[in-house]
Amino acid sequence: MNILQARDLTKTYRIDGRHLTVLEDVSLSARHGEFLVVSGASGSGKSTLLSLLSGLDKPSQGRVFIQGKDITDISEDDLAPFRNRVFGFVFQSFHLIPSLSALENVMFPAELANDRDAEKNARDLLERVGLAERGENFPHQLSGGEKQRVAICRALVNRPKIIFADEPTGNLDSENGRSVLELLLDFQQASQTTLVLVTHNPDIAKRADRVVVLADGRLARGADHGA
């Protein structure tokens, strides 16, 4: 069963009265537990695609279904709690909240979901990634690799069904990049989570169940499983 299905997604921006189509007729699906890599040159539309798939942004045309539910037109009020419970996000540049400690950053989505075990789960995750002692530290006191590990804990704290990761190792040296990738893959495999990961790195792509390649806003290959 496809947990994620996108049909004919098109995204057009209007700039100075002109239309710029950055994504065109992209159809894509992902299965439960699948590791899907999205690849393609800079500017080909990878981040745009991720923001449409995750409901952070709306397509100009086309539809997105998550667990069979059409999320394309639902209101932000209805979408936000759904997104918080079903999706986990990892960004290239961490996106931690600077005024919150590492522990508070990880707890944040769990508190939004009224999870009574928010703190315990957050502490467990930080321990798993070797940061048990750093929970009280603020993002500016952490290295890039540490920040990304905190960001991954935050993405995992609500046990998401789908993780969207936009070049999560892009800002890390190769050793930190490897450990961050292993962390994501361990979780993906242990929890049978779907992982949609944007990367240019062929070594990472090699490990994916499937690779789709964007070129100028269109899918060049790997598009679909069918229904």
Binding site for ligand ATP (CB under 6 A): 13, 15, 20, 22, 40, 42-48
Interaction partner, residue 44 (Mg ion, ligand ATP, none; CB < 5-8 Å by kind):
ligand ATP
Q: Which is nearer to ligand ATP, 52 or 183 (CB)?
A: 52
| Phi and psi, residue 193, nearest 5° | -90, 150
Name the residue type at position 129.
V
Q: Residue 92: helix, strand or coil by DSSP?
A: coil
Interaction partner, residue 22 (ligand ATP, Mg ion, none; CB < 5-8 Å by kind):
ligand ATP
Least distance between Mg ion and beta carbon 166 (Å): 6
Least distance between ligand ATP and beta carbon 48 (Å): 3
CA–CA gap between residue 141 and residue 189 (Å, rounded): 31
CA–CA gap between residue 61 and residue 66 (Å, rounded): 17
Q: Which is nearer to ligand ATP, 54 or 105 (CB)?
A: 54
Interaction partner, residue 83 (Mg ion, ligand ATP, none; CB < 5-8 Å by kind):
none
Q: Which is nearer to ligand ATP, 146 or 166 (CB)?
A: 166
Q: CA angle 107-108-112, nearest 5°?
A: 115
CA–CA gap between residue 176 and residue 182 (Å, rounded): 10
The residues, ordered by sequence, that sit 6+ positions from 83 with a Cβ below 8 Å of its Cβ are 54, 55, 56
Residue nearest to Mg ion (CB): 47
Helices (DSSP H) in 38-193: which residue ranges?
Answer: 46-53, 76-86, 102-112, 118-128, 144-156, 174-191
Interacting span for Mg ion (CB under 5 A) from 24-32, 46-54, 75-83, 180-188: 46-54
Q: Which is nearer to Mg ion, 93 or 141 (CB)?
A: 93
Least distance between ligand ATP and beta carbon 3 (Å): 22
> Could you tell me the two tokens for 172?
């890390």
CA–CA gap between residue 198 and residue 196 (Å, rounded): 7
Is 47 an interacting residue with respect to Mg ion (CB under 5 A)?
Answer: yes
Least distance between ligand ATP and beta carbon 221 (Å): 16
Least distance between ligand ATP and beta carbon 167 (Å): 7
Asked whether 66 and 3 are in contact (CB, 8 A), the reply is yes
The residues, ordered by sequence, that sit 6+ positions from 78 with a Cβ below 8 Å of its Cβ are none
Interaction partner, residue 105 (ligand ATP, Mg ion, none; CB < 5-8 Å by kind):
none
Least distance between ligand ATP and beta carbon 43 (Å): 4
What residues make contact with Mg ion under the rule CB under 5 A?
A: 47
